Structure 1
């Protein structure tokens, strides 16, 4: 992992802009004070790679905004949640109570989001997730102080179910997938992944296997796959799990196609190497999407951090741009929560994904793509869009949301 050009963030770091003049009275004085943002991600342990992408994407957004949000100076407190719900809650409470953060941005993992959403939103502080999107929060648990700039967990997986029905290119031939075996980790996002894939897949699910988040040896699962020979494997193995799974899959000599979401992405491709080439994923974004905002983002990210960004970075970058647009729309006023909520919902910014808006449950309405791992001209690996599978997709839980007043 290349070292960031920003200050070290082992525990926490401040990205600080000029504080402005603090002698102004009333609202003008408040608007001159820095906008404080707590950025929650995992920066230690085997899942630190995608967490680092999330952090660096947001910080690049801040750099493009000259370290200002809505014209006001901004400070970003980077919080390492350590992938521990108890640690995340403790640190987030400190960010709210001691550091007086105006917004919380995070998290990478759904179990961490589930732990912090109540402590954050009970204070009427807006929580914006650049990645985690558990289905309960998109449906009956929707919250007026929560916005996701990513997706509902199920959606990327539903892309692969639909794409499998239409056909996947294997050895130069497009063929439909009829029989699949599913393997995911045994936690909320893992079960959301399986549910999302099954919601659109019309073929036979031969078996579903749920493994511990701490698994390192997939030999038993791969042996079963090899013996039963499905048309394809569907898997969700984020971060370090994906590195181990893909490496062991190739080492086992299995040639069955792998369909996935978050198993192969730019956060883990450097560690997976050529073992990941040709594997498919479902996504909202790739570095190859042809729009001006995305071209600038990818180019500047590579120049600044010297690695290819993943969707975690792209969504976090969009989150910075969304916050800037919302605060600018309110004239820098953070006190009127209703006006600020309406300004966030307006999503008046240019996304690296192209078309983007919020649905009734504060989750995006956006396009989804089938993508495949390929090699860049510079030799590095990246995901590359193959075809659009869903256009202006509304998640399946939006109809269950009855947004409470707040």
Structure 2
């Protein structure tokens, strides 16, 4: 039954994004929210979770924001910036959009931001974004619901330094984002970074395992995601090194929907995250319970972000009386972030990135023997993205944040 219900909802939403919706916008008095997500291919799990998390929150308020009916229009970028551009063009031509939620790659987001901003639409982005979007390229029309990857790496570097780790081996794909992430890690990590790049699509990691055995670093940090991340962690889990060398991976490689593929290889692997299933607050508990009932699968960081996006919008539109035609009023309401996030305390910095808590998660087994994530400790409260200082936006209640503390060499 749950699968059938999910299939029906998905069909309705994808039809709404297609040609059948061509005449639906002009006379529609409802609030229309477009969701551009990856629903096909490698990113489909994340994209569907965002859509479903949004719909769980929408269902909780009776399908209405500020007592106005909400119509959700979903478009699939299929993991392609070109398709993303085409889908946005189609949405702008055929729908009377009020706001847009994006859950796509940073490349797809970069491809569609300009037309969305030129259309004067507020964009709530829940996935990765180009680093400059939090700094010099920040926009009064774009709000980040997730967390900049740079912040995650800076928080990790701070933790490694506090743990007096001296040498860390980093394994990442031979792509530009790896260099960017290593540079962010170096901002707060005082020790030596031993970078080992692998070609994209690599499936065997014997060389990396042997190098780790030879170097004996204090920790191993994987920047690999998708199938590469799964293959590396499975290989790592089969070695004796796992007992003595802690391993860290991107949170997205350790979500509960991914953990079955890792098996025991995922056990004890840690991640810096902004959400965990055991965060003790009413909103998180309610979201997880209703997501499980509605879809029959565990919630994830992606569904948490989709849920938060909907609740943020509902709170902002309450403040404007449901009006979306006054961008200054709606922007001010979004900036106030008057909602209860599943992540706990949440507000926006001057660059529209979240000021939020970062925790250290560790993969463990629950009472029923299922792999899950457990919060081990709070790493940073009210963490502000350092790039806010280079964002030209300034608004009341905000001042440019201080830079993160410089890394000090361990004594």
Normalised by the size of structure 2, how large is the TM-score?
0.86
The corresponding residue for 1:153 is 149
Alignment-derived partner of residue 205 in structure 1:
193
Distance 2:75 2:31 in 1: 16
Provide, for residues 209-243 of structure 1, a one-character-per-residue CA deviation record: whole Å limited to 9, x for no partner.
Answer: 2642x443334433333333322111223333322
Please list the CA deviations of residues 116-165 of structure 1 after superposition, one character each: whole Å capped at 9, or x if unmatched: 11121111111111122332000000001100011111112222222222
> What is the CA distance between 1:50 and its match in structure 2?
2.2
User: 1:13: how far off?
Assistant: 4.8
Match of 1:37 in 2: 33
Question: 2: distance between equivalents of 1:42 and 1:310?
Answer: 16
Tell me the SS of whatever aligns to 2:10: coil
Would you say the 8 A contact 2:221–2:249 is kept in 1?
Answer: yes
Query: 208, 211, 221: which one pairs with 1:234?
Result: 221
Q: What secondary structure does 1:136 align onto? A: helix
Report the Cα distance in structure 1 between the residues aligned to 2:4 and 2:140, rounded to whole angstroms.
34
Which deviates more from structure 2 when the two are superposed, residues 203-212 or residues 110-119? Answer: 203-212
Q: How many angstroms apart in 2 are the aligned matches of 1:383 and 1:108?
A: 24
Match of 1:106 in 2: 102
**1:170 maps to which residue?**
none
CA distance in 2, matches of 1:69, 1:164: 43
The alignment covers a number of residue pairs equal to 382
Equivalent position of 2:404 in the other structure: none
Does structure 1 retain, via aligned residues, the 8 Å contact 2:196–2:208?
no
Asked if 1:9 corresponds to 2:5, the answer is no
Q: Is the counterpart of residue 217 in structure 1 residue 217 in structure 2?
A: no
- Which residue is 1:316 aligned to? 306
- Is the deviation greater in 287-296 or in 241-250? 241-250
Match of 1:171 in 2: none
- Equivalent residue, structure 2, for 1:177: 165
Alpha carbons of 1:187 and 1:207: their partners in 2 closer, same or farther (altered >3 Å)? closer
**CA separation of 1:122 and 1:33: change in aligned 2, threshold 3 A:** same
Structure 2 residue 294 is matched with structure 1 residue 298: no
> CA separation in 2, counterparts of 1:95 and 1:186?
35
Q: Does 1:245 align with 2:232?
A: yes
* C-alpha contact (below 8 Å) 2:237/2:264 kept by paired residues: no
- Aligned residues of 1:235 and 1:260 also touching (Cα < 8 A): yes
* Structure 1 residue 393 displacement after superposition: 0.8
8 Å Cα contact 2:168-2:217 kept in structure 1: yes
2:390 and 2:95 map into 1 onto residues whose CA distance is 35
Kindly indicate whether the alpha-carbon contact (under 8 Å) linking 2:248 and 2:269 is maintained by their aligned counterparts in 1: yes
Contact 1:134–1:188 (Cα < 8 Å) also in 2: no
1:281 aligns with 271
The structural deviation recorded for 1:45 is: 1.6
Structure 1: distance between partners of 2:331 and 2:205: 45
Q: Give the alignment of 1:348-387 within 5 angstroms.
A: 348-387=338-377
TM-align CA RMSD? 2.5
TM-score relative to the length of structure 1: 0.87
**8 Å CA contact retained: 2:126, 2:305:** yes
Instruction: Answer 1 or 2: which has greater helix percent.
Output: 2
Q: CA 1:58/1:238 → structure 2, altered by over 3 Å: closer, same or farther?
A: farther
Question: Which of 242, 246, 262 is the aligned partner of 1:257?
Answer: 246
Change (3 A) 1:90 1:375: same
Output one character per residue of 1:17-45: Cα deviation in whole Å (capped at 9) or x when no partner: xxxxx9xxxxxx98x81111111221222
